[in-house]
Protein backbone atom coordinates (compact mmCIF):
# COMPACT_ATOMS: atom_id res chain seq x y z
CA UNK A 1 0.00 0.00 0.00
CA UNK A 2 1.28 3.47 -0.86
CA UNK A 3 2.53 5.58 2.01
CA UNK A 4 3.92 9.05 2.48
CA UNK A 5 7.68 9.29 2.41
CA UNK A 6 9.41 10.76 5.43
CA UNK A 7 11.05 14.14 4.96
CA UNK A 8 14.64 12.87 4.75
CA UNK A 9 13.87 9.45 3.27
CA UNK A 10 15.33 8.50 -0.08
CA UNK A 11 12.59 7.38 -2.48
CA UNK A 12 13.91 4.94 -5.10
CA UNK A 13 11.28 5.39 -7.80
CA UNK A 14 10.23 2.27 -9.68
CA UNK A 15 7.28 3.73 -11.60
CA UNK A 16 6.67 7.12 -13.21
CA UNK A 17 3.32 8.70 -14.18
CA UNK A 18 2.62 11.65 -16.50
CA UNK A 19 -0.61 13.65 -16.34
CA UNK A 20 -1.34 16.25 -19.00
CA UNK A 21 -3.66 18.92 -17.65
CA UNK A 22 -5.49 22.03 -18.79
CA UNK A 23 -8.02 24.43 -17.26
CA UNK A 24 -11.35 24.67 -19.07
CA UNK A 25 -13.65 27.37 -17.68
CA UNK A 26 -11.30 27.58 -14.68
CA UNK A 27 -11.78 23.89 -13.89
CA UNK A 28 -8.99 21.33 -13.98
CA UNK A 29 -9.25 18.73 -16.73
CA UNK A 30 -6.90 15.81 -17.34
CA UNK A 31 -6.08 14.49 -20.80
CA UNK A 32 -6.48 10.71 -20.56
CA UNK A 33 -6.37 7.97 -23.18
CA UNK A 34 -7.16 4.33 -23.88
CA UNK A 35 -6.40 1.83 -26.66
CA UNK A 36 -8.74 2.10 -29.63
CA UNK A 37 -9.69 -1.56 -29.37
CA UNK A 38 -10.70 -1.26 -25.72
CA UNK A 39 -14.43 -1.31 -25.09
CA UNK A 40 -14.14 -0.44 -21.42
CA UNK A 41 -14.09 3.02 -19.89
CA UNK A 42 -10.49 2.59 -18.82
CA UNK A 43 -9.02 5.97 -19.72
CA UNK A 44 -5.73 6.54 -17.95
CA UNK A 45 -2.63 8.70 -17.69
CA UNK A 46 0.72 7.82 -19.26
CA UNK A 47 2.80 5.62 -16.99
CA UNK A 48 5.75 3.27 -17.19
CA UNK A 49 7.88 1.03 -15.02
CA UNK A 50 11.44 2.34 -14.74
CA UNK A 51 13.88 -0.23 -16.09
CA UNK A 52 17.53 -0.49 -15.10
CA UNK A 53 18.54 0.76 -18.52
CA UNK A 54 16.33 3.85 -18.00
CA UNK A 55 18.20 4.60 -14.76
CA UNK A 56 15.87 7.50 -13.79
CA UNK A 57 12.20 8.53 -14.29
CA UNK A 58 12.64 11.08 -17.13
CA UNK A 59 14.34 8.48 -19.32
CA UNK A 60 11.48 6.01 -18.80
CA UNK A 61 8.79 8.51 -19.78
CA UNK A 62 10.84 9.87 -22.70
CA UNK A 63 11.31 6.32 -23.97
CA UNK A 64 7.59 5.62 -23.57
CA UNK A 65 6.50 8.76 -25.43
CA UNK A 66 8.93 8.10 -28.28
CA UNK A 67 8.08 4.42 -28.69
CA UNK A 68 4.69 3.21 -27.47
CA UNK A 69 2.99 6.56 -28.18
CA UNK A 70 5.09 7.18 -31.29
CA UNK A 71 5.84 10.83 -30.63
CA UNK A 72 2.22 11.95 -30.84
CA UNK A 73 2.59 14.57 -28.12
CA UNK A 74 5.80 16.16 -29.31
CA UNK A 75 5.59 19.96 -29.31
CA UNK A 76 5.09 20.37 -33.07
CA UNK A 77 2.08 18.06 -32.95
CA UNK A 78 0.63 19.84 -29.92
CA UNK A 79 0.80 23.12 -31.81
CA UNK A 80 -1.07 21.53 -34.71
CA UNK A 81 -3.72 20.11 -32.37
CA UNK A 82 -4.16 23.53 -30.78
CA UNK A 83 -4.87 25.04 -34.22
CA UNK A 84 -7.05 22.05 -35.18
CA UNK A 85 -4.72 21.24 -38.04
CA UNK A 86 -4.74 17.63 -39.18
CA UNK A 87 -1.88 15.35 -38.24
CA UNK A 88 -0.50 13.11 -40.96
CA UNK A 89 1.25 9.75 -40.81
CA UNK A 90 4.58 11.55 -41.07
CA UNK A 91 3.82 13.39 -37.80
CA UNK A 92 4.13 10.16 -35.82
CA UNK A 93 6.71 7.40 -35.82
CA UNK A 94 6.13 4.62 -38.33
CA UNK A 95 7.05 2.01 -35.76
CA UNK A 96 6.79 1.79 -32.00
CA UNK A 97 9.89 -0.40 -31.79
CA UNK A 98 13.47 0.73 -31.19
CA UNK A 99 16.56 -1.37 -30.77
CA UNK A 100 17.85 -0.47 -27.32
CA UNK A 101 20.76 1.70 -28.51
CA UNK A 102 18.71 3.60 -31.13
CA UNK A 103 16.53 5.47 -28.65
CA UNK A 104 19.39 7.91 -28.00
CA UNK A 105 19.23 9.02 -31.62
CA UNK A 106 15.53 9.86 -31.46
CA UNK A 107 14.51 13.54 -31.40
CA UNK A 108 11.29 12.90 -29.47
CA UNK A 109 13.25 11.09 -26.75
CA UNK A 110 15.49 14.14 -26.27
CA UNK A 111 12.56 16.55 -26.51
CA UNK A 112 10.86 14.83 -23.58
CA UNK A 113 14.10 14.70 -21.59
CA UNK A 114 14.30 18.49 -22.00
CA UNK A 115 10.64 18.97 -21.18
CA UNK A 116 10.71 16.87 -18.02
CA UNK A 117 14.03 18.38 -16.87
CA UNK A 118 12.54 21.88 -16.90
CA UNK A 119 9.08 20.82 -15.77
CA UNK A 120 8.18 22.76 -12.59
CA UNK A 121 5.43 20.49 -11.22
CA UNK A 122 5.77 16.99 -9.87
CA UNK A 123 4.53 14.96 -6.92
CA UNK A 124 7.18 12.86 -5.21
CA UNK A 125 5.66 11.80 -1.86
CA UNK A 126 4.19 8.45 -2.83
CA UNK A 127 6.52 5.58 -2.14
CA UNK A 128 8.33 4.42 -5.31
CA UNK A 129 6.12 6.55 -7.60
CA UNK A 130 6.94 9.86 -9.24
CA UNK A 131 4.19 11.91 -10.90
CA UNK A 132 4.86 14.60 -13.50
CA UNK A 133 2.30 17.23 -14.48
CA UNK A 134 2.59 18.92 -17.89
CA UNK A 135 0.25 21.66 -19.04
CA UNK A 136 -1.32 21.25 -22.47
CA UNK A 137 -3.42 23.74 -24.45
CA UNK A 138 -7.14 23.10 -24.75
CA UNK A 139 -7.65 20.72 -27.67
CA UNK A 140 -10.73 19.81 -29.68
CA UNK A 141 -10.84 16.18 -28.60
CA UNK A 142 -13.57 15.12 -31.03
CA UNK A 143 -11.59 16.48 -33.96
CA UNK A 144 -8.37 14.93 -32.66
CA UNK A 145 -9.87 11.45 -32.28
CA UNK A 146 -11.39 11.59 -35.77
CA UNK A 147 -7.99 12.64 -37.13
CA UNK A 148 -6.17 9.84 -35.28
CA UNK A 149 -8.63 7.24 -36.52
CA UNK A 150 -7.91 8.24 -40.12
CA UNK A 151 -4.17 7.75 -39.71
CA UNK A 152 -4.64 4.46 -37.82
CA UNK A 153 -3.26 5.68 -34.51
CA UNK A 154 -3.45 3.22 -31.62
CA UNK A 155 -5.20 5.33 -28.97
CA UNK A 156 -8.19 7.57 -28.39
CA UNK A 157 -8.33 10.50 -25.96
CA UNK A 158 -10.71 12.22 -23.58
CA UNK A 159 -10.70 15.26 -21.30
CA UNK A 160 -11.87 14.31 -17.84
CA UNK A 161 -12.92 16.95 -15.35
CA UNK A 162 -10.95 16.38 -12.18
CA UNK A 163 -12.82 16.03 -8.90
CA UNK A 164 -10.94 15.22 -5.71
CA UNK A 165 -12.76 12.57 -3.70
CA UNK A 166 -10.65 11.73 -0.70
CA UNK A 167 -11.98 8.80 1.30
CA UNK A 168 -10.24 8.55 4.63
CA UNK A 169 -9.59 5.06 5.88
CA UNK A 170 -9.80 3.47 2.44
CA UNK A 171 -7.06 2.68 -0.04
CA UNK A 172 -7.05 5.53 -2.54
CA UNK A 173 -6.57 5.42 -6.27
CA UNK A 174 -3.75 7.52 -7.66
CA UNK A 175 -6.25 10.14 -8.86
CA UNK A 176 -7.48 10.63 -5.29
CA UNK A 177 -4.34 10.06 -3.31
CA UNK A 178 -3.92 13.83 -3.06
CA UNK A 179 -5.66 16.95 -4.41
CA UNK A 180 -4.18 17.48 -7.88
CA UNK A 181 -5.69 20.93 -8.31
CA UNK A 182 -4.41 22.30 -4.99
CA UNK A 183 -0.97 20.84 -5.61
CA UNK A 184 -0.71 22.31 -9.12
CA UNK A 185 -1.92 25.74 -8.02
CA UNK A 186 0.38 25.82 -4.99
CA UNK A 187 3.41 24.90 -7.11
CA UNK A 188 2.55 27.46 -9.79
CA UNK A 189 2.16 30.18 -7.16
CA UNK A 190 5.40 29.34 -5.38
CA UNK A 191 7.21 29.18 -8.74
CA UNK A 192 5.87 32.60 -9.80
CA UNK A 193 6.95 34.08 -6.47
CA UNK A 194 10.30 32.26 -6.76
CA UNK A 195 9.93 30.77 -3.28
CA UNK A 196 12.04 27.78 -4.21
CA UNK A 197 15.23 26.02 -3.15
CA UNK A 198 17.87 26.29 -5.89
CA UNK A 199 20.22 23.50 -6.94
CA UNK A 200 22.86 24.17 -9.59
CA UNK A 201 24.48 21.64 -11.94
CA UNK A 202 27.71 23.05 -13.40
CA UNK A 203 28.86 21.03 -16.40
CA UNK A 204 32.46 21.54 -17.51
CA UNK A 205 32.50 20.93 -21.23
CA UNK A 206 33.63 22.84 -24.32
CA UNK A 207 31.04 24.91 -26.18
CA UNK A 208 28.68 22.75 -28.20
CA UNK A 209 25.63 20.62 -27.60
CA UNK A 210 24.32 21.59 -24.17
CA UNK A 211 22.11 18.52 -23.91
CA UNK A 212 24.72 15.79 -23.98
CA UNK A 213 27.91 15.43 -21.99
CA UNK A 214 30.65 14.01 -24.23
CA UNK A 215 27.87 12.61 -26.41
CA UNK A 216 26.86 10.20 -23.65
CA UNK A 217 24.23 11.27 -21.16
CA UNK A 218 21.68 13.98 -20.54
CA UNK A 219 22.79 15.49 -17.21
CA UNK A 220 19.74 17.68 -16.42
CA UNK A 221 17.33 14.75 -16.76
CA UNK A 222 19.67 12.40 -14.92
CA UNK A 223 20.19 14.44 -11.76
CA UNK A 224 16.71 15.99 -11.74
CA UNK A 225 15.16 12.56 -12.10
CA UNK A 226 17.08 11.08 -9.20
CA UNK A 227 17.24 13.96 -6.71
CA UNK A 228 14.84 16.78 -7.61
CA UNK A 229 11.78 17.37 -5.39
CA UNK A 230 8.80 19.60 -5.99
CA UNK A 231 9.35 23.28 -5.10
CA UNK A 232 13.00 23.04 -6.11
CA UNK A 233 14.54 24.86 -9.07
CA UNK A 234 17.40 23.05 -10.75
CA UNK A 235 19.65 25.12 -13.01
CA UNK A 236 21.94 23.60 -15.63
CA UNK A 237 25.03 25.71 -16.32
CA UNK A 238 27.69 25.10 -19.00
CA UNK A 239 30.80 26.69 -17.51
CA UNK A 240 32.44 27.32 -20.90
CA UNK A 241 29.50 29.30 -22.34
CA UNK A 242 27.20 30.39 -19.49
CA UNK A 243 27.76 32.84 -16.69
CA UNK A 244 28.49 31.00 -13.46
CA UNK A 245 25.87 31.59 -10.75
CA UNK A 246 26.22 34.96 -9.06
CA UNK A 247 25.08 36.30 -5.69
CA UNK A 248 21.41 36.56 -6.72
CA UNK A 249 21.31 32.79 -7.34
CA UNK A 250 23.70 31.70 -4.60
CA UNK A 251 21.53 33.40 -1.96
CA UNK A 252 18.81 30.84 -2.79
CA UNK A 253 21.11 27.92 -3.51
CA UNK A 254 21.21 24.79 -1.36
CA UNK A 255 23.83 22.83 -3.30
CA UNK A 256 26.10 22.83 -6.34
CA UNK A 257 26.78 19.64 -8.29
CA UNK A 258 29.72 19.33 -10.68
CA UNK A 259 29.47 15.99 -12.53
CA UNK A 260 31.83 14.10 -14.79
CA UNK A 261 33.49 15.38 -17.95
CA UNK A 262 35.60 13.97 -20.77
CA UNK A 263 38.08 16.79 -20.08
CA UNK A 264 41.02 16.66 -17.66
CA UNK A 265 41.21 19.14 -14.79
CA UNK A 266 44.80 19.95 -15.79
CA UNK A 267 43.82 20.85 -19.39
CA UNK A 268 45.02 24.32 -20.34
CA UNK A 269 41.54 25.86 -20.72
CA UNK A 270 40.67 29.32 -19.47
CA UNK A 271 37.12 28.40 -18.47
CA UNK A 272 38.43 25.62 -16.19
CA UNK A 273 40.63 28.08 -14.31
CA UNK A 274 37.64 30.43 -14.07
CA UNK A 275 35.52 27.57 -12.68
CA UNK A 276 38.21 26.71 -10.13
CA UNK A 277 38.25 30.33 -8.93
CA UNK A 278 34.46 30.23 -8.66
CA UNK A 279 34.68 27.04 -6.57
CA UNK A 280 37.18 28.66 -4.20
CA UNK A 281 34.85 31.62 -3.74
CA UNK A 282 31.96 29.24 -3.14
CA UNK A 283 33.83 27.30 -0.45
CA UNK A 284 35.26 30.40 1.26
CA UNK A 285 32.28 32.78 1.13
CA UNK A 286 29.12 30.67 0.96
CA UNK A 287 29.33 28.33 3.96
CA UNK A 288 25.71 27.13 3.75
CA UNK A 289 25.94 25.89 0.16
CA UNK A 290 26.86 22.24 -0.26
CA UNK A 291 29.17 20.90 -2.95
CA UNK A 292 28.75 17.47 -4.55
CA UNK A 293 31.61 16.55 -6.87
CA UNK A 294 31.44 13.47 -9.07
CA UNK A 295 34.48 12.13 -10.96
CA UNK A 296 35.72 15.26 -12.77
CA UNK A 297 33.86 17.43 -10.23
CA UNK A 298 35.62 15.52 -7.44
CA UNK A 299 39.01 16.16 -9.04
CA UNK A 300 38.27 19.80 -9.88
CA UNK A 301 37.36 20.59 -6.28
CA UNK A 302 40.58 19.00 -5.06
CA UNK A 303 42.74 20.95 -7.50
CA UNK A 304 40.86 24.21 -6.91
CA UNK A 305 41.67 23.94 -3.19
CA UNK A 306 45.36 23.07 -3.62
CA UNK A 307 45.27 19.33 -4.25
CA UNK A 308 46.58 17.62 -7.34
CA UNK A 309 45.17 15.33 -10.04
CA UNK A 310 47.28 13.28 -12.44
CA UNK A 311 46.76 10.48 -14.99
CA UNK A 312 46.74 7.04 -13.44
CA UNK A 313 49.57 6.13 -15.79
CA UNK A 314 50.44 3.68 -18.57
CA UNK A 315 47.27 4.65 -20.46
CA UNK A 316 45.08 3.06 -17.81
CA UNK A 317 41.38 3.89 -18.01
CA UNK A 318 39.17 2.35 -15.33
CA UNK A 319 35.72 1.37 -16.57
CA UNK A 320 33.03 -0.71 -14.90
CA UNK A 321 32.32 -1.82 -11.37
CA UNK A 322 34.64 -1.17 -8.46
CA UNK A 323 34.47 -2.00 -4.78
CA UNK A 324 35.15 0.87 -2.38
CA UNK A 325 36.62 0.05 1.01
CA UNK A 326 34.93 2.40 3.48
CA UNK A 327 36.40 3.78 6.72
CA UNK A 328 34.15 3.18 9.72
CA UNK A 329 34.18 6.87 10.72
CA UNK A 330 32.13 7.69 7.61
CA UNK A 331 29.05 6.34 9.36
CA UNK A 332 29.37 8.94 12.13
CA UNK A 333 28.33 11.86 9.89
CA UNK A 334 24.83 13.20 10.46
CA UNK A 335 23.78 13.05 6.81
CA UNK A 336 25.01 9.46 6.60
CA UNK A 337 22.97 8.54 9.67
CA UNK A 338 19.95 10.26 8.08
CA UNK A 339 20.21 7.85 5.14
CA UNK A 340 19.17 4.99 7.42
CA UNK A 341 21.75 2.69 5.84
CA UNK A 342 23.34 -0.11 7.80
CA UNK A 343 27.08 0.54 8.23
CA UNK A 344 29.25 -1.58 5.97
CA UNK A 345 32.95 -1.78 5.17
CA UNK A 346 32.49 -1.75 1.39
CA UNK A 347 30.20 -0.29 -1.30
CA UNK A 348 30.11 -0.96 -5.04
CA UNK A 349 30.18 1.86 -7.60
CA UNK A 350 30.46 2.42 -11.36
CA UNK A 351 33.80 3.88 -12.47
CA UNK A 352 34.83 5.69 -15.65
CA UNK A 353 38.09 7.62 -15.34
CA UNK A 354 41.73 7.75 -16.33
CA UNK A 355 42.86 10.36 -13.76
CA UNK A 356 43.16 10.23 -9.99
CA UNK A 357 43.63 12.61 -7.08
CA UNK A 358 47.16 12.10 -5.77
CA UNK A 359 47.18 14.94 -3.23
CA UNK A 360 44.31 16.25 -1.14
CA UNK A 361 43.73 19.89 -0.15
CA UNK A 362 45.42 20.91 3.09
CA UNK A 363 43.42 19.38 5.94
CA UNK A 364 44.18 22.13 8.43
CA UNK A 365 42.68 24.69 6.06
CA UNK A 366 39.73 22.83 4.54
CA UNK A 367 39.05 19.89 6.90
CA UNK A 368 38.48 17.50 3.99
CA UNK A 369 39.32 13.82 4.43
CA UNK A 370 39.25 10.67 2.34
CA UNK A 371 36.91 7.89 3.49
CA UNK A 372 37.16 5.40 0.62
CA UNK A 373 39.76 3.56 -1.40
CA UNK A 374 39.88 0.89 -4.09
CA UNK A 375 42.45 -1.43 -5.61
CA UNK A 376 43.16 1.18 -8.30
CA UNK A 377 42.85 4.47 -6.42
CA UNK A 378 43.76 5.47 -2.90
CA UNK A 379 41.38 8.46 -2.90
CA UNK A 380 37.79 7.60 -3.76
CA UNK A 381 35.44 9.46 -1.40
CA UNK A 382 35.90 12.89 0.17
CA UNK A 383 33.83 14.38 3.00
CA UNK A 384 34.46 17.61 4.87
CA UNK A 385 34.18 17.70 8.65
CA UNK A 386 31.36 20.26 8.46
CA UNK A 387 29.43 17.99 6.03
CA UNK A 388 29.14 20.54 3.24
CA UNK A 389 31.49 18.80 0.79
CA UNK A 390 31.00 15.31 -0.62
CA UNK A 391 32.96 13.86 -3.54
CA UNK A 392 33.21 10.55 -5.37
CA UNK A 393 35.82 9.45 -7.88
CA UNK A 394 33.17 7.06 -9.24
CA UNK A 395 29.61 7.61 -10.44
CA UNK A 396 26.80 7.03 -7.92
CA UNK A 397 24.34 8.35 -10.53
CA UNK A 398 24.97 5.48 -12.99
CA UNK A 399 24.16 1.80 -13.01
CA UNK A 400 25.86 -0.65 -15.42
CA UNK A 401 22.86 -1.39 -17.64
CA UNK A 402 22.27 2.33 -18.27
CA UNK A 403 25.88 3.06 -19.19
CA UNK A 404 26.47 0.04 -21.40
CA UNK A 405 23.23 0.53 -23.33
CA UNK A 406 24.54 3.95 -24.31
CA UNK A 407 28.23 3.27 -24.88
CA UNK A 408 28.29 -0.21 -26.46
CA UNK A 409 28.34 1.27 -30.02
CA UNK A 410 31.15 3.61 -28.97
CA UNK A 411 33.17 0.73 -27.50
CA UNK A 412 32.76 -1.10 -30.80
CA UNK A 413 34.19 1.92 -32.58
CA UNK A 414 37.10 2.25 -30.14
CA UNK A 415 37.93 -1.45 -30.51
CA UNK A 416 37.64 -1.40 -34.30
CA UNK A 417 34.78 -3.92 -34.31
CA UNK A 418 32.03 -4.15 -36.89
CA UNK A 419 29.22 -1.68 -36.20
CA UNK A 420 26.33 -4.14 -35.92
CA UNK A 421 23.57 -5.15 -33.54
CA UNK A 422 25.40 -8.42 -32.94
CA UNK A 423 28.60 -6.63 -31.90
CA UNK A 424 26.75 -4.16 -29.66
CA UNK A 425 24.77 -6.93 -28.00
CA UNK A 426 27.87 -9.06 -27.42
CA UNK A 427 29.67 -6.16 -25.71
CA UNK A 428 26.60 -5.31 -23.62
CA UNK A 429 26.00 -8.89 -22.50
CA UNK A 430 29.65 -9.49 -21.64
CA UNK A 431 29.79 -6.28 -19.62
CA UNK A 432 26.61 -7.01 -17.66
CA UNK A 433 27.62 -10.61 -16.96
CA UNK A 434 30.84 -9.58 -15.19
CA UNK A 435 30.44 -10.13 -11.46
CA UNK A 436 31.78 -6.68 -10.60
CA UNK A 437 29.02 -5.07 -12.70
CA UNK A 438 26.24 -7.54 -12.09
CA UNK A 439 25.97 -6.71 -8.39
CA UNK A 440 25.88 -2.90 -8.71
CA UNK A 441 22.59 -1.10 -8.23
CA UNK A 442 23.88 2.10 -6.56
CA UNK A 443 20.90 2.61 -4.23
CA UNK A 444 23.21 2.96 -1.22
CA UNK A 445 25.29 5.72 -2.82
CA UNK A 446 22.25 7.46 -4.32
CA UNK A 447 20.73 7.43 -0.85
CA UNK A 448 23.89 8.98 0.61
CA UNK A 449 23.93 11.68 -2.08
CA UNK A 450 20.24 12.39 -1.54
CA UNK A 451 20.55 12.87 2.21
CA UNK A 452 23.68 14.95 1.68
CA UNK A 453 21.83 17.31 -0.68
CA UNK A 454 18.66 17.53 1.44
CA UNK A 455 19.84 17.15 5.05
CA UNK A 456 20.74 20.37 6.81
CA UNK A 457 22.06 20.31 10.38
CA UNK A 458 22.33 24.11 10.66
Instruction: Indicate if 140 and 211 belong to the same structural domain.
Output: no
Q: What is the pLDDT of residue 2?
A: 46
pLDDT, tens only, 162-204: 999 876 655 568 888 899 999 999 999 999 999 999 999 999 9
Comparing 155 with 169, which gets the higher pLDDT?
155
Domain extent, residue 315, equals 196-399+440-454
In a domain, 4, yes or no: no
| Mean pLDDT computed over 59-84 | 96
118 assigned to some structural domain = yes
**Interval 274-284 mean pLDDT:** 98
Task: Tell me the average pLDDT across 210-239.
Answer: 85
Whether 292 and 184 map to the same domain: the answer is no
10 occurs within a structural domain: no
* 7 domain residue, yes or no: no
Indicate the DSSP class of residue 174.
Answer: G
Residues 241, 379: one domain? yes
pLDDT (tens digit per residue) in 88-126: 999 998 776 778 888 888 999 999 999 999 888 999 999
Q: Which tens digit of pLDDT belongs to each residue from 317-345?
A: 888 888 999 999 999 999 999 998 999 99
In percent, the amount of the chain with pLDDT more than 90 equals 72
Do residues 203 and 213 make contact, with C-beta atoms less than 8 angstroms apart? Answer: yes
- List the one residue out of 390, 395, 396, 424 whose CA is nearest residue 409: 424
Cα Rg of the chain (Å, integer): 23
Within 93-143, strands assigned E span 122-126, 129-135
Same domain, 283 and 253: yes
Examine the domain organization and report whether 155 and 249 are in the same domain: no
- pTM for this structure? 0.94
Phi, psi of 103 (to 5 degrees): -60, -30
Residue 385 lies in a domain: yes
Helix (H) or strand (E) holding 271: helix 270-285
- Both 374 and 279 in one domain: the answer is yes
pLDDT score recorded for residue 168: 63
Q: What is the DSSP letter of 390?
A: E
Per the prediction, the chain carries an average pLDDT of 91
Pick the last residue of a domain from 150, 171, 191.
191
Q: Are residues 378 and 240 in the same domain?
A: yes
Q: Do 253 and 326 lie in a common domain?
A: yes
**In the predicted model, is pLDDT for residue 7 greater than 70?**
no
Residue 3 lies in a domain: no
Beta bridge partners of 158: 32
Residue 138 pLDDT more than 60?
yes
More confident residue, 280 or 341: 280
Q: Does residue 374 share a domain with residue 416?
A: no
* Domain count for the chain: 3
Q: Within this chain, do residues 413 and 304 fall inside the same structural domain, yes or no?
A: no
Whether residue 458 has pLDDT greater than 50:
no
- CA distance linking residue 293 with residue 304, whole number of Å: 12
Looking at the fold, whether 237 and 339 belong to one and the same domain comes out as yes
Using the predicted structure, report yes or no on whether residue 211 has a pLDDT greater than 60: no
| pLDDT on residue 317 | 86
Q: At 355, is the pLDDT very low, low, confident or very high (cuts 50, 70, 90)?
A: very high
If asked whether residues 225 and 362 sit together in one domain, one would say: yes
What CATH number is given to the structural domain containing 444?
3.40.50.880
Instruction: Report the pLDDT averaged over residues 126-134.
Output: 95
**Would you say residue 6 lies in a domain?**
no
In a domain, 170, yes or no: no
- For the chain, how far is it from start to end, CA to CA, in angstroms? 35
Question: Which phi and psi (to 5°) does residue 298 adopt?
Answer: -70, -45
Q: How confident is the model at residue 252 (pLDDT cuts 50, 70, 90)?
A: very high
Percent above pLDDT 70 for the chain: 94
The pLDDT tens digits of the residues spanning 405-435 come to 888 888 888 888 888 889 999 999 988 888 7
Amino acid sequence: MDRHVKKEEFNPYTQVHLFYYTYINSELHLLLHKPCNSSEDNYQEFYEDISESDNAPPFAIARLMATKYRGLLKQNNIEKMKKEESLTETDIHKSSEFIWYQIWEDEVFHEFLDKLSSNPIQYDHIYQKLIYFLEIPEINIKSLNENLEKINYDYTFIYKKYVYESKDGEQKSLLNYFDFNSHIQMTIQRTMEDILDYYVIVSCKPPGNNKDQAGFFHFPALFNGIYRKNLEKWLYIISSTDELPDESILKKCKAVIIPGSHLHVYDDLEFLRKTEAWIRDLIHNWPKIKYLGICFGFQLLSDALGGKTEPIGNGVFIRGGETLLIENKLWDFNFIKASGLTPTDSINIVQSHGDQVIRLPDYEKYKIRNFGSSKNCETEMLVSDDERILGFQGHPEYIPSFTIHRVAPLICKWQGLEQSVESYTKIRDEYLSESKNHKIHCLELRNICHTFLKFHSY
